Amino acid sequence: MSLFIKKTAAVIAAAVMLGTALSVKLPTEVSKAAPDEYHDDWLHVNENAEIVDMNGNPVWLTGCNWFGYNVGSQVFDGVWSQNMHKMLNEIADHGFNLLRVPMSTEILLQWKNNEPDTMIKINEYENPELTIEGVQGGTPMYSFDIWNKAVEWCRENGIKIMIDIHSATTASSGHQVPLWYDSNFSTEDWIEALTWFADYYKDDDTVIAIDLKNEPHGKNDGQGMAIWDDSTAPNNWKHAAETCAEAILDINPNLLIMVEGIEVYPKFEIGSTWDSPSVDYAHYGDESKQPYYGAWWGGNFRGARDYPIDFGEHQSQLVYSPHDYGPLVWQQTWFEKDFTRQTLLDDYWYDTWAYLVEENISPLLMGEWGGFIDKEHDPTGDNLKWMTLLRDYMIEKRIHHTFWCFNENSGDTGGLVYDNFGKWDEDKYAFVEPSLWQDENGKFISLDHKIKLGQSGNGISLSDYYSGSPQPSTEDKTEPTPTSATEPSTVPTKPVEVPTSSGKGILGDANCDGKVTIADSTAILQALGNPDKYGLSEQGAANADCCDPGDGVLPSDALAIQKLDAKVITKLPELSEKN
């Protein structure tokens, strides 16, 4: 026992250090859902251009983006400092029912071929559940196993997942490459990666959608250009999207497939073609005489009116997915006036993407929208004005969306968290919260028929919502009830007397989630190492005193839970030899 305590003290002392280590391959079948276990939450598009569940009930996908797997971290960014499980809990508790996860073709093929990680950016002290040994400071799991832990924890929280291929090659600037292929990975590689992924999760409806490619773009300037027509040209996005989607849907016909737009579309009415110069310099500054209609990367759907995407027998799985940003990302021409919703519709939105929902052609999922709203970054308030206009339009038109982003390290938008991913930006969250799917009592609605959204008690399942079960409101839904490591930071010196299982307390359940797992051991060690940040509630501290009850919360209690999890002991409390 004393040896363990000494080791634990050393672990706690190092708990703030960043962990970066070579990983070891592990079997990757452990977290894969059993066949037929998760098969009731697939979504489809009906004849009214609504996304509906298996019973034909309309749903609203309202999520956020969390990147990292596309940039070389081999895991979500922020896991270098914070507990991944806790962050996923918080995303669900704040009401986001869908997580859009940028990936690369490269990392999917790495996982498919079981190739080793080069390095992986996790903090092993904050994330013992992501180590092979299950202890603080252990050896990081293989990145695919860590990803499957994320899938498992999303499932437990009622969060559904959509991945997107953000780039072919893993790189922080990979999204700047205009096409779905590059010099390292071909169109065939892209399709191989996504069909493998679809096959792996075909029995798990936690993964409900794939966004085929983030922001196809480019102009005819020699850098590469995504086009949209009826050809089979290698750079024809329509043809590539249909080909890739067909291969995916042959494997899992239930996945929603997001197809983004491109950047420019020729002004055929003035004689432009795809081969026109990118800029007519003779008329520079006169937008009406430029050869292309411009848009945000991935935002131009003018081609979808002339050449709609055709998924054949799987057309019910198609969702168009534009991206839209404000003047702090780029001062577009439609921001050069005192813009309103109507001017945005007239100057840009309607003909570029909004016609699809206004004319009831297709549902839309706004895959990226967001930005700074604070005075320091947005002194004129124009960015907040744009965000408000778009948010309210999406609410009115029931446009699905995934906010950009959870990460704080998005340079031109900021994120929902700050302080090294440790704190929520409550002002920005308060802005986004009205656009999240809620019932009349402010309960956040999951896309899962059985699992309520989050751990805070302010989420409900789809069955709850559509069965009409009464769901009492909470007084303050912007401050979710703390769970796990976010409980009030007080570790009582005297434990409260509770039975082993009283209905109010379960011995060993330090985070008060109703069960005893390795997460409770983590909660105890975090509370001991940094009580101001990771304290336990009074009930949690009482539950935590599970080794030699009565001596207070000690590292030995964390060890007892680890022994129980490893089946070294069969029940709690554990009594030492002295007792």
Residue 454 tokens read as 């989050």
Cite the beta strand spans of 285-343 per DSSP E: 292-293, 318-320
Q: Show the 3-state SS of 42-104.
A: CCEECCCCCEECCCCCECCCEEEECCCCCCCCCCCCCCCCCCHHHHHHHHHHCCCCEEEEEEE
Q: Which of 90, 260, 368, 408 is catalytic?
A: 368
φ/ψ region of 158 (left if φ > 0, alpha if ψ in -120 to 50, else beta) reads left
263 carries an active-site annotation: no
The whole-angstrom separation of Cα 42 and Cα 52 is 9
HSE (side-chain half, CA atoms, 13 Å) at 94: 26
The span from the CA of 332 to the CA of 325, in Å, is: 10
293 forms beta bridges with: 265
Hey, is 453 helix, strand or coil?
coil
Alpha-carbon span 188 to 233, nearest angstrom: 14
Structure tokens at 80: 């270098």
Residue 357 host element (H or E): helix 355-358
Distant-in-sequence, close-in-space partners of 267: CB < 8 Å, separation ≥ 6? 290, 291, 292, 293
Q: Per the structure block, which two tokens stand in for 276?
A: 């026109």
Does 368 qualify as catalytic in the annotation? yes
Q: Which of 152, 215, 487, 574 is catalytic?
A: 215
134 torsion bin: left (phi>0), alpha (psi -120 to 50), beta (else): left
Q: Catalytic residues, which ones?
A: 215, 368
